[in-house]
Amino acid sequence: MSAGDKLRLGVLGSGRGTNLDAIFRALHDRAIPAEVKVVLSDVRDAGILHIGRSHRVHTKYVYPGESPFRLDEASEHNISNALHHEQVELVILAGFMRIIGPELLAAYPRRILNIHPSLLPKHPGLRAWEQALAAGDTVAGCTVHYVDQGVDSGEIIAQAEVDVMPDDTPEALHARIQHAEHVLYPEVIDHFARNRPFAG
């Protein structure tokens, strides 16, 4: 398979980038026919930008605007341009903590995926593992879903469960969920890369 056959990914994140790291490892180890073309962040010094750079991928900080929750129009336009410049076919949100707006949703219909650290529709929003502990859940997990205009509300693609232990701390549960994320997200990307469910 030539490099041109690979599914072109654009990754957006705001945090450490452990999911991106797991994706890079899986692309290599499992020969998934996909490649990360660009990594974008709304946080200037985010770990995810360092991880992108360490894999020699083009990275870019995009000033997100004044709202802590959304991208303003200009920043969305900048992100859209950066993705189009790299001819990105599938957008991967990996810990991107802002709501995606209409320009990006229209540019990538059913081509923007997100991972969330709960069994959606339970516990959308911030610090979902703490929500699971507060609710007394005995099972937690993570979800990969299509992105829509809401918060962690799009159609569910895949989920993985983890047990909640009686003596769990938020940190221990979060680590267990992240471990599951690092398996689940590459599996979904593998499926998209091999089956191109959006082609046509």
Q: Which residues are catalytic?
A: 116
Segment near ligand GAR (CB under 6 A); pick from 29-37, 60-68, 77-85, 110-118: 110-118
Contact string 59-98 vs ligand GAR (x = CB under 6 A): -----------------------------------xx---
Out of 37, 98, 111, 116, the only residue in the binding site for ligand GAR (CB under 6 A) is 116
State the Cα–Cα distance between residues 55 and 93, nearest whole angstrom.
18
Cβ proximity to ligand GAR: between 88 and 173 the closer is 173
State the Cα–Cα distance between residues 128 and 150, nearest whole angstrom.
16
Query: Can you name the residues that pair with 116 across neighbouring β-strands?
Result: 143
Write the CB contacts of 142 (distance below 8 Å, at least 6 apart in sequence).
Answer: 115, 116, 117, 118, 119, 159, 160, 162, 177, 180, 181, 184
Out of 10, 101, 117, 154, the only residue in the binding site for ligand GAR (CB under 6 A) is 117
Binding status of residue 52 toward ligand GAR by CB under 6 A:
no
The distance of closest approach from Cβ of residue 54 to ligand GAR in the complex, given in angstroms and rounded to an integer, is: 14
Cβ proximity to ligand GAR: between 2 and 15 the closer is 15
CB 88 within 8 A of CB 38: yes
State the Cα–Cα distance between residues 92 and 36, nearest whole angstrom.
9
The distance of closest approach from Cβ of residue 20 to ligand GAR in the complex, given in angstroms and rounded to an integer, is: 6
Which residues contact ligand GAR (rule: CB under 6 A)?
13, 15-19, 48, 94-95, 115-117, 152, 178, 181
